[in-house]
Copies of this chain bind each other. A is one copy, B any other.
């Protein structure tokens, strides 16, 4: 998290860590506490708290500590869902470390996920109904997103429209919700501004996930902390594969590999080489750019500030990142 975009909110992001530590320290059971720490210490990009705090500032909020608790709450909820996702996807690694259920047990990890989820909502509980509403709605959308994704696993009918629907549910709505929490805190009565911040960050969320999925093809394990080709092995309908399946020359073989259950890593690597020969990578970047441009365009209608510049930098970082 050493990029420039975070410098103007670095104090608040540091406080987010403290709040998450304090909240999970409340777990009476020592192993439950240890498991929460394991997940949180394996540091993610903290995009969601950043969105909450930046959005609060974007709309002129002057007491950023107010947004810290909410940012931490959303990050706890996000991490809770990652614990369950890894079980669901049989993911072995998360950010360069063993997935929680591989390090501990499946049963305990399910409970630890539920617990962290409850902690997130508990931390949010002392705010307003609207705020809880944003996040709960996103949490419910996540379930739908996961199911839609499962429906298109190893399914060559997957297309861009379906993909956008899946990643809206899985990723973009929680990022949007986190931002709307911050926006609401700053201007509770300004429905239009809250909606605008929501639209901006929803589009950022889509761009973020597109790049994330692209990194499964063109990423470097050293940077991403996870094996390349995972999504292909799991048969996930991600956009690099979807585009490559449409290629007149290489599409047939990519479809063949994608359709097969029990894809091996060798086959996944073969598919990756084929994907790279098509225009898929280019189209993925263009799609991410389409959404980040939408975000940037709407962002321009907001008043200039160091926080607006930070949001622009964050968007640039998201589209250009290699991890």
Contact = CB atoms under 8 A, between A and B. Distances in A.
A117 B115 contact: no
Given A27-B144, A147-B31, A150-B108, A136 B125 contact: yes
Interface of A: 26-29, 31-32, 81, 84, 87-90, 106-108, 110-115, 117-119, 121-122, 125-129, 132-133, 136-137, 139-140, 142-144, 146-148, 150-151
Contact of A115 (B27, B87, B144): B144
The 6 A-B pairs of least Cβ separation, nearest first, read: A115-B143, A88-B107, A29-B147, A118-B139, A118-B140, A122-B136
**This protein's copies in its complex:** 2
B114 A136 contact: no
A91 B106 CA distance: 14
Contacts of A150: 107-108
B133 A115 contact: no
A29 B132 contact: no
A35 B236 CA distance: 22
A112 B144 CA distance: 9
A143 B32 contact: yes
A139 B111 CA distance: 11
A40 B146 CA distance: 21
A126 B125 contact: no
Contacts of A89: 107
A143 B125 contact: no
A110 B132 contact: no
Nearest to A128: B129
A20 to B, nearest CB: 14
A143 B114 contact: yes
A125 B132 contact: yes
A151 B88 contact: no
Contacts of A106: 87-88
Contacts of A110: 84, 87-88, 110
Contacts of A148: 28-29
A89 B111 CA distance: 11
A169 B235 CA distance: 39
5 contacts: A31-B151, A88-B110, A114-B143, A125-B136, A126-B133
A139 B126 contact: no
Contacts of A140: 26, 115, 118-119, 122
Contacts of A129: 125-129
A114 B84 contact: yes
A165 B217 CA distance: 49
Given A108-B150, A118-B136, A118-B142, 11 more contacts: A27-B147, A31-B151, A81-B114, A114-B117, A115-B140, A115-B144, A118-B140, A122-B133, A125-B129, A125-B132, A129-B129
A92 to B, nearest CB: 15
A275 B246 CA distance: 66
